[in-house]
Chains A and B, each alone.
Chain A
Amino acid sequence: MNIFKAIGGTYNEVRLNPNVGTWSFLLHRLSGILLAFYLFMHLIVIATSPGNAGAFDSRLAAVQTRLFHLLEIGLVGVIFFHMLNGLRILVADFFYLTRQHQKLLWIVVIIFIIIMAYATAVMLPKVFHREVTEVAQIVGGLR
């Protein structure tokens, strides 16, 4: 199956089966592909980094930009979605909870929102080159 046929077929599946299951399957696949891509890039950056500490730090400094800090929040989202949805499927399969899969999905969504709210609160200040404690002081000053 060529890539265009696969994309067209996937679009058709989502269009004809607009169900929770189809969406979670599609997002699971996409998040899996993104994670594989990230892992590949991560390994390349680490593997091609120079041996001494100073040069290694300067290589990593290249990814300490606003864009990369923002992408890091996305990375947390992708990792946790893939992990929680994977657990949901395992629980449904191993404990024969297939009839309760919608409830399991809601549990996943709630846990995901809590994790993302915490991760964003901790990581978003970095996007604006601020520490979490600095933001806490600013918020405290506003009160």
Chain B
Amino acid sequence: MAYLKIFRYDPSGGVEPHFKRYELPPEKGMTILEALFWILENKDPSLAFRCSCREAVCGSCAVHINGEYRLACKTQVDPLGEEITIRPLTHLPIFKDLVVDMKPFFDQYEKIKPYLMPKEEPPESKEYFQSVKDRKKIDSLVDCILCGACYGSCPVAMGDPDYLGPHALLKALRFVQDTRDGAKTERLAIVATEHGVFRCHTIFNCQKVCPKDLDPTGAIAKLKMKSIGFKLKSMFGFARSAG
């Protein structure tokens, strides 16, 4: 028999932060997300949590489960033992129970301009060309689902609310390494700041918790080197305007 200890809090409804314990039915193969749905349908219809795709693609259901940030849909109940504690993501304001306000998270993300800014117009009636070799440079980076697990696990985000965060920096590298993109200098100017790559203390938590097994710490390390090059170039006055 497993028990779920879930963080409950409703600032607008006057419910103080506390943990509530729910007993789960013995069911083989049940995920945490299914368990949350079972509680919602059978025990407590007031429980709030986020989800969408149920197959580790949308990144909506990231929560803190037994000492680690994980996706509820990708985590099985069985291996976690008898008592499972679930908390919302940290470093973000709580709306209700396990639902947090992702606005600060996406505000940081938007700062790196997460869209392609091409060097030139595409060939007439064709798409931008990219070789297989060049595509491989951004292979793993495009897999980020922006679930917020890395941001929640990063102690730097606790102390510096302006810190861009592992998610934004990983995506910044995705565009910096994209051969079709023409705004490398512009992006490096955004990340090569005290709230950007230089704020990262290489703690490795983001790498540890990433549900897609990406390496945001490694991405930030690469961006750090590129940022150092960019800063040196800027200092000696020969930074290129683009590309």
A101 near B159: Cβ-Cβ < 8 Å: no
A21 near B90: Cβ-Cβ < 8 Å: no
B155 near A17: Cβ-Cβ < 8 Å: yes
Cα–Cα distance between A101 and B215 once the two chains are bound (Å): 12
A residues 49-106 touching B (CB-CB < 8 Å): 89, 92-94, 96, 98-99, 101
B90 near A6: Cβ-Cβ < 8 Å: no
Chain A residue numbers with a CB within 8 Å of B90 are 12, 16
B225 near A22: Cβ-Cβ < 8 Å: no
Return A100 CB to nearest CB of chain B, in Å. Answer: 10
> Who on chain A is nearest to B197 by CB?
A93
Of B53-61, B174-182, B203-211, the segment with at least 4 beta carbons within 8 Å of chain A is: B203-211
Interface of B: prevailing SS: helix
Cα–Cα distance between A22 and B68 once the two chains are bound (Å): 12
Chain A residue numbers with a CB within 8 Å of B159 are 1, 6, 9
Per-residue interface assignment for chain B, residues 189 to 212, with 1 indicating a CB less than 8 Å from any chain A CB and 0 otherwise = 000000000000111110111000
A9 near B217: Cβ-Cβ < 8 Å: no
Chain A residue numbers with a CB within 8 Å of B215 are 98-99
Cα–Cα distance between A53 and B221 once the two chains are bound (Å): 51
> Who on chain B is nearest to A90 by CB?
B202
- On chain A, the number of residues with a Cβ less than 8 Å from chain B's Cβ atoms is 23
> Given A20-B204, A22-B203, is A98 in contact with B67 using a C-beta cutoff of 8 Å?
no
Per-residue interface assignment for chain B, residues 71 to 91, with 1 indicating a CB less than 8 Å from any chain A CB and 0 otherwise = 000000000000000010010
> Given A92-B221, A93-B221, A99-B218, is A19 in contact with B87 using a C-beta cutoff of 8 Å?
no
B64 near A25: Cβ-Cβ < 8 Å: no
Return A28 CB to nearest CB of chain B, in Å. Answer: 8
Cα–Cα distance between A20 and B207 once the two chains are bound (Å): 12
Interface of A: prevailing SS: helix
Chain B residue numbers with a CB within 8 Å of A131 are none
Centre residue among A18, A19, A89, A92 by max chain B CB count within 10 A: A19
Centre residue among A24, A93, A99, A101 by max chain B CB count within 10 A: A93
Return the 9 tightest CB-CB contacts between A and B, nearest first: A21-B204, A98-B218, A13-B155, A98-B217, A21-B203, A25-B203, A93-B221, A89-B202, A9-B158
Known: A25-B201, A98-B217. 8 other contacts (CB 8 A): A12-B90, A16-B67, A16-B87, A17-B153, A93-B202, A96-B218, A99-B215, A99-B218
Interface residues of B (CB under 8 A from A): 64, 67-68, 87, 90, 153, 155, 158-159, 201-205, 207-209, 215, 217-218, 221-222, 224-225
Of the A-B pairs whose beta carbons lie under 8 Å apart in the complex, a sample of 26, sorted by A's number, is A1-B159, A9-B158, A10-B155, A16-B64, A16-B67, A16-B87, A16-B90, A17-B68, A17-B153, A17-B209, A18-B67, A19-B204, A20-B204, A21-B203, A21-B208, A22-B155, A22-B203, A22-B205, A25-B201, A89-B201, A89-B202, A92-B217, A98-B204, A98-B215, A99-B215, A101-B217
